[in-house]
Amino acid sequence: MPTNPLRDQAYKHIHGKLLAGDLPAGQVLSELSLAREIGISRTPVREAIQRLEHEGVLEQVPRFGTIVRRPERRDLADLYELREALEPYAAAQAAGRLGAQDLATLAKLCDEIGAIAAALKKAARPVPTAAELQRLLSADLCFHMVLLRASGNRRLIKIIADSQMLTRIFGTPRQEHDLAVIERTHRYHCEILNAVKLRRGERARQLMAEHIHASMREALDHFDRAQSTPDTRSIPLGLPDGLLEDLQRLERGPAQSQPQPQPRKPRARKA
């Protein structure tokens, strides 16, 4: 899809509101209101909405309008099964390809998750605060994104990145993460980091598959409980700046490399 700055701006704005819980399932979208919020015309907003409909997040209801889809259990299972099929391969490909900076970033993200678990233990709290949960979800998503980039397969990156974002939109509202879940996430991330650092691709593949399968069980169990005890609260996901831009850049493909200036040769000294 050709680049359109205004459409991309509208897409990012709507996507951010979905992730923040400002547009819950069943909410009717108004092109006019969104256009006024962003300060652009309705046409790029309509195009952004059409893209989100194509991605399965929004849907058109006859005589009613465009609404945020209310996910079914099968939607969530499909997304996790896609990740379980593809993301372990990406983790194996990333093993041995990570530079020092990426390894340091992964270590910091592991530390972030570990610090949240430690804070819960110290305060004897069973679940994190909303702010802690934002940090947890963002650290988890960024950890996976770093590994995806290192895999080097652009099409695979785009498919998995989209499924991760959809999983967040469908799975974030109302879902709580207790200390046991956070500690398990921390353990998996640390072990995956160690495997890719040691260039153990098969071990990284195995650990990632286990990690995503465990996450799928937790998400589906939560979904089942939510059906019997519905709760309309949403938990905002504080995404780091630039993450959506990164996903859009991955979709467009690698930028054309610019010619680098050649270093000037030192002048020969006169005898």
DSSP β-ladder status, 58-61 and 65-68 = antiparallel
Buried b / exposed e over 84-98, threshold 16 CB at 10 Å, is bebbbbbbbbbbeeb
Q: Distance of alpha carbon 42 from its chain centroid, rounded?
A: 27
Categorize the per-residue pLDDT at 261 as very low, low, confident or very high, splitting at 50, 70 and 90: very low
In whole numbers, what is the pLDDT of the chain averaged over residues? 82
pLDDT per residue as tens digits for the range 86-113: 999 999 999 989 999 999 999 999 999 9
Q: Which of 69-78, 119-128, 177-186 has the lowest mean pLDDT?
A: 69-78
Task: With a cut of 50, say whether residue 122 has pLDDT above it.
Answer: yes
In 3-state terms, what secondary structure has residue 28?
A: strand
For 125, which DSSP code?
-
Q: Cα dihedral sign for 57, 60, 66, 67?
A: negative
Percent of the chain with pLDDT over 70: 79
Helical ranges in 152-200 per DSSP H: 154-171, 179-197
Average pLDDT for residues 188-217, to the nearest whole number? 97
- DSSP letter for each residue of 81-120: HHHHHHHHHHHHHHTTT--HHHHHHHHHHHHHHHHHHHHH
End-to-end Cα spacing for the chain:
62
The total number of residues written for the chain in this structure: 271
For 127, which DSSP code?
S
Sequence spans of domains, the chain: 5-68, 73-252
- Cα–Cα distance, 50 to 56 (Å, whole number): 10
For 226, which DSSP code?
H
The CATH fold assigned to 73-252 is Four Helix Bundle (Hemerythrin (Met), subunit A) (1.20.120)
Highest mean pLDDT among 53-57, 154-158, 209-213, 239-243: 209-213
Six-digit token pair at 77? 């299972």
- Cα–Cα distance, 94 to 188 (Å, whole number): 16
Average pLDDT for residues 204-233, to the nearest whole number? 84
pLDDT the model gives residue 109: 95
Q: Distance of alpha carbon 17 from its chain centroid, rounded?
A: 14
Task: With a cut of 80, say whether residue 167 has pLDDT above it.
Answer: no
- Cα–Cα distance, 151 to 95 (Å, whole number): 8
Six-digit token pair at 60? 């058109």
Query: Which of residues 37 and 241 earns the better pLDDT score?
Result: 37
Would you say 183 and 146 are in contact if contact means Cβ atoms under 8 Å apart? no
Task: With a cut of 60, say whether residue 11 has pLDDT above it.
Answer: yes
Categorize the per-residue pLDDT at 84 as very low, low, confident or very high, splitting at 50, 70 and 90: very high
Contacts of 118 (CB under 8 A, 6+ apart): none
Q: Which CATH architecture has domain 5-68?
A: Orthogonal Bundle (1.10)
> For residue 196, with 0-12 CB atoms within 10 Å meaning exposed, 13-18 middle and 19 or more buried, which class applies?
buried
